[in-house]
Chains A and B, each alone.
Chain A
Amino acid sequence: MVVAVAAAALVGLLAYGVAKQGPSRSLDAAIEAGRHPPAPNTTRPLPVLDGLATRTATLAHWRGKVVVLNFWASWCDPCAAEAPLLERAQRLLAADGEGTVVGITYKDVSGDSLSEIKRYGLSYPNLRDADGSFAAGFGTDQLPETFVINRRLHVVAISRGQITKLSWLTAAISEAERT
């Protein structure tokens, strides 16, 4: 009896450990069902990537604005490829004051991230998710990934992979502005 309970506990522990490894796709399922799920981790502070590492910011800081949340890293080639497109989106959003792109660096050395920001002349704010735990809330484990979030901090569109067309981004931003 004791052996059976111990074996069941070990199997349960193993199952929990394995289940914990996989990325969550609950946001994707909600979007596919036509819903706008609340963005996770909105009050969790992340260090601002400014080379000083003294300030933090939360997603809730941008409540009332449309946020294009982009997870990226300096070692990710597709991230570099879509950076100019995100900068264009940032200029569009900043021009009418409706929102902003927010970059989240994922498991990246801050010095390398800062070099990439300089190289591509990115004008939008970037935060650091050093251990990837913030990204895990979004089910992010591959890069790049982008989440378009409305003014009430609900996710309206997801791109798991490189964004290749500005039209996808502008359509998602328009939807975020409407909702």
Chain B
Amino acid sequence: MRRAALLVIVALALVPAGAVAAPRQRTSMTAVLPYVMCVTCGIPLTAAQSPQADAERSYIQQLIDQGDTLPQVKRALVVQYGDAVLALPPASGFDLTVYVVPVVVVVALLALLGVLLPRWRRNMRRAEPASAAVAAPLSAEDSARLDADLARFE
């Protein structure tokens, strides 16, 4: 009996402290959530309220509690739910449009400006003599009539 008790004490003394302590958390729920979607609702997990979203959050908490880092949590989520679980979709297939379309739109708009801006400036320059003609000094006859009109208001 005493020998058994001694063996237990020795065994406990040999167990490293880290082996019994809970693993240290390397990330947090608030750090993970912005990267994750609710896979059945199609909205960010932060805003999702559904049984599936609850299951997802519970799984994330489990991964955090076991000491996984943010990239490890993201990888584990992709293994369980596929790429759709990540808020930023993969740059392949139809999802590639998410990255390509904005760039194409910006380039197209810049090209359009490149074409339209010089044309607009040319038109402005052409229009300048006309506006200058409008601003030309009045003839003597018009000037006399204007003076007469103004005199009536004095």
Chain A residues with CB under 8 Å of chain B are 2-3, 6, 10, 13, 17, 20-21, 73-77, 107-110, 112, 130-133, 141
Contacts and interface: CB of A to CB of B under 8 A. Distances in A.
B52 A73 contact: yes
B51 A76 contact: yes
Interface residues of B, number: 20
Contacts of A21: 42
B84 A2 contact: no
A74 B80 contact: no
A141 B79 CA distance: 20
B40 interface: yes
Contact of B82 (A74, A75, A132): A132
Contacts, number: 51
B107 to A, nearest CB: 11
Interface of B: 39-40, 42, 51-52, 54-55, 59, 79-84, 94, 97, 101, 105, 108, 112
Which of B51, B80, B81, B105 has most chain A Cβ within 10 Å?
B80
A131 B97 contact: no
A142 B15 CA distance: 49
A112 B42 CA distance: 21
B55 A74 contact: yes
5 contacts: A6-B105, A10-B101, A17-B97, A76-B51, A108-B55
B129 to A, nearest CB: 31
B112 A2 contact: yes
A74 B97 CA distance: 33
A112 B55 CA distance: 9
A5 B31 CA distance: 42
A109 B59 contact: yes
B40 to A, nearest CB: 6
